[in-house]
Each structure stands twice: as C-alpha cells, then as structure tokens.
Structure 1
C-alpha cells in the first residue's frame, strides 16, 4: 500500500486524489509513511463534521505516543500544546486566550490591519512584477500576531522561517530543528518580558502564570509558541489561495471589484474552494468507532481532511466551481467543534482587508506566470503557495 498523500502531484493539486478516495469510501484506511504505518482518512463532508465533534477521537498526543519508540525530537512546547489536549485541560487553556480573538477584539484591530495592508501595498511598484505571497500574504499576518505577542521586529523574519520549516512534509529532521528554534525562542522571550514587561498578549499570559497561578511554565511557553505559528500560517495560505482563485476566475474578480460589499460573504466560498488547511492536526480513536460505513478500530490515527470535505458534492453541488452566489457557510476550513480555529475571526479580517485593498488598488493585476508553473508548499497539513507572482 502506497501513501497517496506523498505523491508530488498531490501537493500541486490534491483534489483529484481526494475525490478518488472519497468516491471509494468517505472513510478509508491509507498508508502513511514507508514503514507499514497507516491511518484512517476522512474525506466526506458529513463524516468529517461528525469526526471533528466526536469525543472518541482524542487529540492527546502524549497519551497516544507514551511508551512507543520514536526517532522524533520535537521541542516539548511544540509537541504538547493546547491543540494536543482533550477536555477539561483544553477548555481551561483555550479560555485564557479566547478573549484576544473574539469578533469584538478583532474589530478593534481592523484599523491597524488596514493601515498595515496599505503600508505593504505602498511598497509595490506601480508597474511590474511582484510576489503576493512574499510581499503581502506572509508579512501581514506575521506582523499582526507578532505585534499581539510583543515579538520584536528584528526577530520576525527568523520566526517566519522557523514556522515554515515546521510543515516540511517528509523531512522530520527539519521539523524537529524548527520546533526547538521556536520553543527555545519563546522561552527566551518569556524570560525577557519578565525582566521588562509590556502590554502584549504574551505579557497577559505571563501574568496569568505568575500572579494567578493558572498556567504551568510549560503551558505558558507552549501557548505562546502555538499562537505564534497558528496565528499566521493559515492566514498566509488563505490570502494566497483566495487571490489565486479570483485571478483564475476573472468574472468573480470583476464582480468583487464592482461590488466590494460582497467580499465578507465571498470569503466563505473562497475558504471552501481551496481550504488553507488540507488535513487537520493529529487525532486518534480511543475506542472502536463506526464512521461512514467503516469501522475504525481503537488506537489508530485518524486524519480529517477539510480540503476534501469542502469539495464533497453531497454537501456542495458542483464543488469544483467557484461560485460567489453559493451559500458556503458550514464549510470546514476552520474545523468544527471544540477545536475549531480560535483565530478564525482574525484570519477573516486580515483576508478581507488584504483582498479588498488588492482589488481596489490593483484592479488589473494578473498572473505573471502560467498557473501550472506555480509551486505549492510540500506539506499535506497546509495548502498554500510558495510564491504568487503578479503583474501589476
């Protein structure tokens, strides 16, 4: 059995593979790796939505891997973070950071985000070629989350590099090294902020740890590392994927130029069409689990694929067509259930403001290279472009 998720063609365009797997069975066993390992892959919409909310699927990686031999060397702050916990620990940790990402909190950030978008686009040439990923999709969310956490400007380029390395599919040594770089950096930043406090989200978390004793030191560093990475990776892919989708659908591009008020609702269709998360983070079955006509045995990894579920024709007719009139609410790009993406309101605001400014300031932008020559990130977790050259 070969791993269908490691084929180079999968990274360039995963949707034919997803469709073939889903047509065979919406839940099926697949090879993962080259040493006889396997997982159960969930590609159907109804099955994915059920799986996201099923308490029989655990995210407690520490419990799953306890006692198992491993060649991996992930930093503890990356290996055991809030995403890798179950209730009640998950709810306790999530409640400490939720208020920073509510719709109201994000609304207060919108003027800052809009000004940052303008600043980034001001640096674009009036005529010529520009890489949207490098000059907008990456620096915008990186700068916002780093500002929120109080990461010094001089360190942000390194943070982005380490974060990208974390998703190097099939290269465990690079991933492990990046995890130690991020974990070590956040440990040092926490120490520096204790010496010289500020008013960032990280300062608030340190106060929760030191003054209120509601976090362990490991939990503090792991939340900081998670927010640093998760706070921009998904949004970078969201902006790049959405821009490419619109550029490849000139009618949709032109419509949003003329009717910019449609953009907030169009975001759902753009998220559905090319989800920035292809396959969600690790889960495993704690007991036998019937799902989609398949019985998943206890104690095996389960991969839920929002990228596949969002193109399930049983839920979204003509799923391979971008349709701005479609009611795409209910898509699973941000997950579902208690682990639904905490930063979804922030990601939506950043994408809305970035795409809106792109459409208004560069209405005649077009791809500078054939779409087939674009390079996609080599990771099955994230779905995102390495670069997106535009002619403006």
Structure 2
C-alpha cells in the first residue's frame, strides 16, 4: 500500500479498453490506493479500493457517506437532480427506499416476465431477418429501456431523446457534455412528473410515486420525486444494457463456454452471474466520502476524502475467486459485488437478472449461428459504466 498518487490517465487507452490488468497490478501492491482518475472525470484524486474483502467492508461502512452535506459539500435538497438513494444515508436513505421498494419486489418483477419476453421476441423478430446487426443498438439497449420506460410511464416518442441524455450522463465525453445532459434530464423529468400530476391516477410506477403516501403520511417531495425518477430510469436501464452486451461479448470470445450454454440452456442463471462477476456493467461504485477520519486496510483516510470502491476490481480478486480472469459459467459466484453490497445494494437487481436471462436465452435459441462480426466499438469513457458502444454480430 502506498500514499503516492497513481495517475490512471497515464495508462492511456489500454485502461479504458481493458482495465483489469491495471487493477490486478494495483492489487499486487495492496488493496487501497490514492489515484488520479482519467478523463473525463476531471482528473479528480480519490482513494480506490481494489481488494475484495476491503471493498465488501467499505460498501457496508457507515463512515463512508453518500450524503455530501455531511462534509460541507453539495445542497441539502440534492441540487439540480434532487435527492435519491445514491445521495442519501440513513435515516433519509431508509425512508426513501421504503417508499419505492415495493415496486421491485420479486413478486412484482416476476409479474413482468411475460412482457419482458414479449419485448425480447419483438426485437429479435425485427433483427434476425437482417443476418447481422449491432447488438447494442438493435437488442441490448432497446430491451431494458423499453421495459423501464413502460414501467415508469415514459411516453414512447420521448425514449430516443431520453436514451441520448442518459448515456451522456453516465458515460460523458467531457465535463461540459455531462453538465448539459444533467440539466436537460432534470428539466425533462420535471415536466414528466408535472404531466403525471395533471393526468391523475395512472397505473405506471412514476404515477404511483407521485401519489405514494406512507402510513405516517410521509410523501416524496418534488425534488425527491425528480431524483428517484432519475435514478430509476437511468440506473434501471444503463446497467442492463451493458450487462447484456458484455455478457454476449464474453460468450463470443469464449467459444467453449458458449457451446456449454447452448448444450444446456439451464445454465443460463449461473452464466448471467458469471457475466456480472467477470465483466460487470458497473466498474466502480459511485463516490463515497469519509464522514470522519478512518482507516481502510491500514491506510489513513482523512475526513472529506472521496473514496471509490472498485466492483470490477474486487470481483477479479484471486483471494475470493480463484483464477479470476477465466470466464467460467459453472463457477460458484456467490458473493460477487456487481450489484454492490449493504444498504445500497441495487434495488433493481431482480429486474436486471430477469431481463438478462431472458435476453441471453432467447438470443441463443433463435440465433444458433451467432458470432462476432468484427471488433466491438469504443468502450465507454469514464470509470463508472463498463461496456462497448457497439457490438457487431452476425448469425
């Protein structure tokens, strides 16, 4: 372990294309490091946790706050986008999660299974006659964005524009484009919420959230509604897009594993878990901040310091997953951190799993000759979301 600042930007495009060897080199030197993030993350200096045990402990450590007002930063009302689950700590986080968690119970998600299958089949009906396609554009992106937009009640004509704003918000090309995307998203969501208020009772989730009242009369404020709509819409599809894209890419670059899954489709649940571990869609958890002076694996972290917890790095730690760079759909993956851990464990994990399992199984059934049709496109910039902008395939 060292307190020197390691400039991740000096690793060049290789870090963006395949960060795992670089994280492995950091892990060899220790589980916690001081790093400077590459573009477009403003070259911010932060602590980075790359060891599995240390990452799991940090994800559950209440001294690492999501609420920046605890260290004198940010706005009490959440600012432009409003308060949401990833910008709050207990008891506020507990309150917010309780008001939205009923939408993502296993029972409610299971009720979506027929519609997820229907959307999947419609997309494959349109794609397969062409013989080749960009899997991201034709399948991996439209499936989850259609599901989450229908679930929340985003009008069909708005979805293309929303997709562009959302992608730029989570994988921006520059700090300027990121600010513009957030500004446009906030304005769009404000208008959408107001439309739901005027429309009266609707059967979509956003309409329900507008009307939700807890037993004690508690409701989501206007800013909280905007923040929750942002989190559910963006996190509700961006991660699944890249789970499907990365998963198919893993299969196509590991033909033995692809053949095993084709021979036994019953392996799909385990295959999706290995996709999450091996090339998960969230490379690093969103920022936490030290609410007090503390130590992580013997490293002193000062109050106010930003901390990033490496989910991908932790899930390639050989101390937890032997031969971690090997993609093996039969591997025991219990305990992977792709969806986080602790109170911020991903609320939408059941829906993401349902969509990915349905997509992978249906694609392999209906495209038995599926193969790469060239190299994947540029990998998304930044250190939050991991996935290619395009994935050319043929069948």
Instruction: Give the shorter-chain TM-score range.
Output: over 0.9
Alignment of structure 1 residues 195-234 onto 2, 5 Å: 195-197=198-200, 198-208=202-212, 212-234=217-239
Taking structure 1 as the reference length, the TM-score comes to 0.93
Distance in 1 (CA, whole Å) between partners of 2:136 and 2:209 is 31
1:32 equivalent to 2:34? Answer no
Q: Cα distance, 1:170 vs. partner? A: 6.1
Q: 1:346 to 1:290 in 2, by over 3 A?
A: same
1:45 equivalent to 2:45? Answer no
1:281 equivalent to 2:282? Answer no
1:71 equivalent in structure 2: none
Distance in 2 (CA, whole Å) between partners of 1:24 and 1:86 is 32
Q: Deviations over 1:312-364 (max 9, x none)?
A: 00000000001122100100000000001100000000000000011100021
Distance in 2 (CA, whole Å) between partners of 1:389 and 1:182 is 29
Q: Cα distance, 1:67 vs. partner? A: 7.8
Structure 2: give runs of 5+ residues left out of the alignment: none
Distance in 2 (CA, whole Å) between partners of 1:121 and 1:266 is 21
Q: Is the 8 A contact 1:5 1:380 kept in 2?
A: no
2:347 equivalent in structure 1: 342
1:292 equivalent in structure 2: 297
1:162 equivalent in structure 2: 165
> Secondary structure of the residue that 2:244 maps to in structure 1?
helix
Structure 1 moving runs of 4+ over 6 Å = 33-36
Q: 1:61 to 1:67 in 2, by over 3 A?
A: closer
1:59 equivalent in structure 2: 66
Q: Is the 8 A contact 1:239 1:351 kept in 2?
A: yes
Distance in 1 (CA, whole Å) between partners of 2:83 and 2:176 is 18
Q: Cα distance, 1:127 vs. partner? A: 5.3
Q: 1:170 to 1:129 in 2, by over 3 A?
A: closer
Q: 1:33 to 1:120 in 2, by over 3 A?
A: closer
Alignment of structure 1 residues 1-392 onto 2, 5 Å: 1=5, 3-4=7-8, 7-32=12-37, 37-64=44-71, 66=73, 76-78=79-81, 80-126=83-129, 128-169=131-172, 171-197=174-200, 198-208=202-212, 212-370=217-375, 374-392=377-395
Q: 1:357 to 1:50 in 2, by over 3 A?
A: same
Q: Cα distance, 1:65 vs. partner? A: 5.3
Distance in 2 (CA, whole Å) between partners of 1:53 and 1:96 is 22
Distance in 1 (CA, whole Å) between partners of 2:220 and 2:149 is 21
Q: Cα distance, 1:250 vs. partner? A: 0.9
Distance in 1 (CA, whole Å) between partners of 2:338 and 2:279 is 9
Query: How many residues matched?
Result: 385
